[in-house]
A and B are shown apart, each in its own frame.
Chain A
Amino acid sequence: MTKEKPTVYPYIPNSVSAAKNQMLKEIGANGVEDFFEDIPEKLRLKRNMNLPRPLLSEYSLRRYMEGVLSRNKTCHEYLNFLGAGCWQHYVPAVCDEVNQRGEFLTAYAGEPYDDHGRFQALFEYASMMGELLDMDVVNVPTYDWLQAAATSIRMASRITGRREVLVSRTISADKLSKIRDYCKPKIGIKLLDYDPETGQLDLNSLKAEISSKTAAVYFENPCYLGVIEAHGDAISEIAHNHGAISIVGVDPISLGILAPPVEYGADIVCGDIQPLGMHMQFGGGHAGFIATRDEEKYVMEYPSRLFGIAPTSVEGEYGFGDVAYKRTSFALREEGKEFVGTATALWGITAGVYLALMGPQGMREIGEGIMQRSCYAMLQMSEIKGIKSPVFKSTHFKEFVVNFDGTGKTVAEISESLLRHKIFGGKDLTKEFPELRNSGLFCVTEVHTKNDIDGLVDALKEAVE
């Protein structure tokens, strides 16, 4: 601050020397050093930090950043068939328009008197998710599906007072890793096998493992491998017969055509809203939801904020606020339920916009269109010599496993060949599911045209030759 000609920073109004000096004078301070008097000398950094030279002008910053980012190849330039937890769907323009509004983008934790719109938008998000899921309580979104699944399991453990959970083996390695870490202090995880023919949960495995210690059974629909579980009701029934809770993870974009999990006995439903209006963002668009019935014993176990509707002192005026705030760690520190903090509210608002745009008709059409396209891709790929598509004899939604054993090529080799055609092939499953041998997980959504899929098939033919 003693430089001859100090830089004036556009983001820092009081970087102007005159303002600084006037304020120092009014406070009666000799310099900013006075304010750090409590920081011991030995802890002071006595040199400039060694950071890159600043790009002070906005233009030079833009030039630099765009230059670095230009080294990324987008899924607009390439044809993408990767899913596996992050999915390429079309993002309606209005979704982006709303979530870049400065009011929403830069708000945070204001009271309903400053931020009525934020409360209402998140209440409406929960309300529309409630219709999609046919459930009465939906949280202000948490970080992602991984967290939503892990918290759902801990909620179930607290509700039942039990400390063991059965998890279908057909979940992603990442999610299982998250669940294991998050449940470690409290809950043991047991994996349930799947039927190698259908990819669906093996009911015998469930019957063998379930006991009076079981807090919950967790399975997904469609599962990580894209298979639609046909026996959801049987799974929930077995869980309920043993006093356990049925937790279902679900892809919300499937729910225009697939039954909401509550219809086959789910007590807690969770999942990711990234498909509902969030760009992939290299995995940055995720947000997790948790939904339950409106029963006090369930509601009081949510760690997340829950926004509810309330009257105000003026007739006919909607107000909103936190429901049962006293269960949260904001109110009770370590005595609250798990913890709450900044997560993904803006993505919740965006998913609300998405559902409002889609309506019941849009959700049905998109679900059906995804099924048709992915079915087409499965059939076309199955005609290629040496390729088994799909591996599982079940109905699929959006994703499916393709086996390349008969081609004599590894998934990695095939992906490399596809890449030369500017195609991102499916995720290599050889590490996560070694028993599926040389298989990849492919994803087809409403963004893929017949031409796109035919292009993939042609490139695959070339790759396996």
Chain B
Amino acid sequence: MEDITKKRYTDEKPRLRRFHQARWDEPIIFELSNEGERGILIPEVEDGVNDKVGDVVSTIPESMLRKRPPKLPELSQSRVLRHYVRLSQETLGTDLNIDVGQGTCTMKYSPKINEQLARMPQIAEIHPLQDEETVQGILEILYKFEQILKEISGMDRFSLQPGGGSQAIYTNASIMRAYHEARGEADQRDEIITTVFSHPSNAACAKTAGFKIATLYPDEDGYPDLEALKAAVSERTAGLMITNPEDTGIFNPKIKEFTEVVHNAGGLNSYDQANANGILGITRAREAGFDLCHFNLHKTFSAPHGCGGPAVGAIGVTKELAKFLPAPAIEFDDGEYYLNYNRPESIGKVRSFYGVVPVVVKAYAWVMNLGAEGLKEVAEVAVLNNNYLLNKLLEIPGLGAPFAKGKRRIEQVRYSWKKLKEDTGVHSEEIGRRTADFGVHYWTSHHPWIVPQPCTLEPTESYSKADLDEYIEILRHVSSEAYTNPKLVKTAPHNSTIHKIDHAPLDDPSQWAMTWRTYRKKVCRTSAHDNVSARLQRLER
């Protein structure tokens, strides 16, 4: 027999995986509906109840009674399950892929033990308004996790309430507004300064909280520009909201000077630490002069991303600002944990109850497993992995890493395919579609594209050298295809669930359809009706 191992991917040198994404060609769930089928039965009302209450539906005011049943699909249970398991297979979670391609998002391993713990009935089946003595376990976790975040950041108090990074940034902006209001300067201080390489939510959330936005651009080397900041601050400055390291992976070495300039102008400094993966145990918000910060527990702290939440953006502040935090605070006194609603100057409620508690449980378990040395190991290996990737990727034709030439980066890098585009006409987005053919994610960048033809890679600590080498080989291969057979890249994907999408209808009000009923109304009545019929016929065959 031939030695198959010689021709395997695992033959020491990474080769390209012969990947094909799951392709079930799954109908829309409404197309699977079969009248009368049931997915689940509802517990029957006992006779004693029925006898007592009679026909309750007749007590509903006529105008409030539903006349026609909702046109929900009707499917038996196994058919619902099969449909969704197929859709899940057509989704490439971090559990499946070498997820270094979603830079800034810290796609790391989400330990299964933490998921199991967070799904225990002792979390899943507790009501937020239960008597405190019956929820001491979860209050202990919320309290202790706050102490952990205080140590990691150097801040004095935390709230775990915001339901994601953007809501955390919004909350911090709202706290800054409350601070200036309390000082009678809210009308005057109406401007927030950010940088263009900070996450767009810093600008968007501050605007939503009522501020005007001033955006700083980097200096020629890609570093945040201190002189530009000095020119931007004034008596109108409410504060600074920035990321560091920025989306480029460049750490702002003058960060302390930045925060001092803003303090001297009477503003506050808010640190977007959504992704703090490269600096855990290395450097902290407090020493850099920040008044507020936030961590995404679904990023740095390993909770899974859930297709885009549920999530937590934990916010930390100095003790001067603690009174503005959302209520309740979790306190510990005389052996008991309790909820303290006494925060009269609080900005108010941000998210229902105490935030997304199961995500906190996962983050807490993650820290309890790793400890201080483990967290520092996370940072050091994430940064090692990133610089290894950087070093290797720069050898690929057409790919560059603008700014800070010859310098190291922290946890991620924003690369550029500018040269490849000039040489071959192949865009970064097309590269991304082609990498999907090899079973990995790839992402360009937030807008606007300051770096031309960008891609942002962040390897975290979760990947081995072999994993990184595989990702590198994929990009090397796609680059080589762009030079030798650009059409192959431009028409990608070829091995995905679906093929290239025509995006035009998604921006056309006469065609866009966010629900199946709208699609049926707008499109199926006209030409595409034939397509659907043809499709149904094909399914029948």
Contacts and interface: CB of A to CB of B under 8 A. Distances in A.
Interface centre among A117, A144, A376 (most CB of B within 10 A): A117
B517 A127 contact: yes
A: interface residue count bin:
35 or more
A428 to B, nearest CB: 9
B66 interface: yes
Given A66-B117, A326-B507, A314 B498 contact: yes
A360 B386 CA distance: 51
7 contacts: A7-B374, A11-B369, A105-B304, A299-B512, A319-B502, A321-B503, A344-B309
A72 B518 contact: no
A92 B40 contact: yes
Contact of A376 (B49, B310, B357, B407): B49
Interface centre among B45, B288, B358 (most CB of A within 10 A): B45
A334 B203 contact: yes
Interface in B390-417: 391-392, 407-410
Interface string A357-377: 111111111101101110110
Interface stretch (B8-16, B108-116, B229-237): B108-116
A146 B525 CA distance: 38
Nearest to A175: B349
Contacts of B361: 65
A130 B151 contact: no
Given A38-B408, A181-B350, A364-B69, A72 B60 contact: no
A106 B380 contact: no
Contacts of B265: none
A42 to B, nearest CB: 7
Contacts of B37: 359
B29 A103 contact: no
A243 B391 CA distance: 61
A12 B459 CA distance: 12
B1 interface: no
Given A48-B281, A120-B90, A69 B369 contact: no
B499 interface: yes
Nearest to B380: A32
Nearest to B80: A356
A194 interface: no
Interface string B150-165: 0110000000000111
A433 interface: no
Contact of B45 (A48, A76, A229, A369): A369
A49 B151 contact: yes
Interface stretch (A209-217, A347-355, A403-411): A347-355
Contact of B348 (A86, A115, A177, A282): A177
Contact of A23 (B43, B462, B465): B465
A386 interface: no
B499 A312 contact: yes
A462 interface: no
Contacts of A314: 498-499
A255 B287 CA distance: 53
B489 interface: no
B92 A103 contact: yes
Interface string B351-381: 1111111110100010111111111111011
A295 to B, nearest CB: 9
Contact of B465 (A14, A65, A108): A14
B465 A84 contact: no
